[in-house]
Amino acid sequence: MKKEIDQAIVMENVVKEFKVLNRHEGLRGSIRDLFSRDYRTVTAVDNISISIPGGQIVGYLGPNGAGKSTTIKMMTGVLEPTSGNLIVNGCVPYKNRTKNCENIGVVFGQRSQLWWSLPLIESFRLLKDIYLIPDRQYDEMMKLYSDLVDLEPLLHKTVRQMSLGQRTLSDILAAFLHDPKIVFLDEPTIGLDVSMKAKIRDLIKELNRMKQTTVILTTHDMGDVDALCERIVIIDHGRMIYDNDIDHLKSYFGSYRILKVRLPGDIWEETVIDESKTDVMSVISDYQKKGKLLDIKLEEISTEEVIKKIYENETNERKKISGIDKSRDNTGIAV
């Protein structure tokens, strides 16, 4: 364990299982359920091992219900892993919830953790007391904040009166206030407008750079990933399916590009082309044989497309294994 002391988070074969009652239908079924001991086990997190060194921004991605939240809850000490080792900042989060909480900051989507009826500055002062932040450190942090964002108009507003963007901003500032080693951000830009998203991303990036805070970011917005993440971990059905940096991601399935062609009748058609297998010119000539081409556009594949492909690929793999895959849809990929 000694050698991993510089690691912010170490997960070794972590498994989290939930017991779910098998429910029966109808009134008779519900009565049976009252006394039933008929449980099935659902594996939310299935044997995940990762180490995250301090200071990294990691994008933790996966489709809805993949087990992201469950992992975050284990890292923050809310849930206990069923098996495996999980060390956060050198301690076991579930056994030392209070101690773990001193060294982490959490922003959970649209759920503000600030006191609704208090002006922001009072929330900050309370947090200063709760985290026992020394005066000097607090003043420095407030100075830094006012350099990074337009803080003054926010400070005397209550959280209740804030717009969603201001609230998210405030929540992020609150999460970094005690200079934690790790900050967990769960969909921080959800529901925000473009300029607010950019503001939030800049803020996270700056804070990470200046304070060397490790950031674990879960999001469905690939703009967040592109702007912030050095490393990406993707999980699906509780299993880790990708763990590498963002540059590798684009070439994960070969080098993809998107060809858009305009056909008569002003119809745009999109084809994702894997250049390691097909070349763009031959696809264009195929189109030309079929009819007149009015216009073409060639685009680099976006992170979003790659992630989508990884999810789909994983789903197809699973189908193949379980033998349901009789009619595999091609998802529009020219091979």
Partner 1 sequence: MNEAAIANAKRGFSFYARIYRKILVQDLKSKMSYRADFIISTFGMIMTNTVGFMSFYILFKNFPSINGWNYHEMLFLYGFSLIALTPLQCLFDNNWSLRYSVESGDFIKYCFRPINIFFYFISEVFDVKGLGQLVFGVAVLSYAWSSLAIPVTVGTLCLLVLLLITASLFMIAIMNFAAATCFWMLRSGYVMILMFRFKDYARYPASIFDGLFRIIFTFVIPIAFIAYYPGLVILHPDNIPLLSKLSPVIGVLFFWLSYKFWMLGATRYDGTGS
Q: Are 243 and 50 in contact (CB under 8 A)?
A: yes
Q: Are 231 and 57 in contact (CB under 8 A)?
A: yes
Strand partners, 60: 218, 233
Q: How far is the CB of 108 from partner 1 (least distance, A)?
A: 6
d(CA 156, CA 173): 15
122 contacts partner 1 (rule: CB under 8 A) = yes
- DSSP string spanning 232-291? EEEEETTEEEEEEEHHHHHTBTB-EEEEEEEETTTEEEEEEEETTTS-HHHHHHHHHHHS
What is the SS3 assignment for 116? coil
Q: How far is the CB of 309 from partner 1 (least distance, A)?
A: 28
d(CA 165, CA 198): 11
Q: How far is the CB of 73 from partner 1 (least distance, A)?
A: 5
- Binding partner 1 (rule: CB under 8 A), the pick from 15, 126, 155, 227 is 126
246 contacts partner 1 (rule: CB under 8 A) = no
Strand partners, 268: 262
Beta strand 57-61 pairing with 214-218: parallel
Q: How far is the CB of 239 from partner 1 (least distance, A)?
A: 20
Which residues in 81-120 contact partner 1 (CB under 8 A)?
96-99, 101-102, 104, 106, 108-109, 111, 113, 115, 117-118
Q: How far is the CB of 205 from partner 1 (least distance, A)?
A: 23
Query: What sign has the CA pseudo-torsion 126, 127, 132, 134?
Result: negative
* Residues 132-171 as x/- pattern, contact with partner 1 by CB under 8 A: x-------------------------x-------------
- Binding partner 1 (rule: CB under 8 A), the pick from 47, 54, 78, 318 is 78
Q: Give the angle 190-196-198 at the CA atoms, nearest 5°.
A: 95
d(CA 248, CA 232): 10
Quick one: 77 or 238, whose CB is closer to partner 1?
77
Q: How far is the CB of 33 from partner 1 (least distance, A)?
A: 12
Report in angstroms the alpha-carbon separations of 118 from 109, 130, 161.
Answer: 20, 16, 10
Q: How far is the CB of 330 from partner 1 (least distance, A)?
A: 36
Q: Which of 272, 266, 270, 269 lies closest to 294, judged by CA?
A: 266
* # residues near partner 1 by CB under 8 A: 31
Quick one: 113 or 255, whose CB is closer to partner 1?
113
Q: How far is the CB of 88 from partner 1 (least distance, A)?
A: 13
- Binding partner 1 (rule: CB under 8 A), the pick from 14, 79, 151, 306 is 79
17 contacts partner 1 (rule: CB under 8 A) = no
What kind and span of H or E run contains 13?
strand 7-21
* Residues 166-195 as x/- pattern, contact with partner 1 by CB under 8 A: --------------------x---------
> Which residues here bind partner 1, judged by CB under 8 A?
18, 69, 73, 76-79, 96-99, 101-102, 104, 106, 108-109, 111, 113, 115, 117-118, 122, 125-126, 129-132, 158, 186
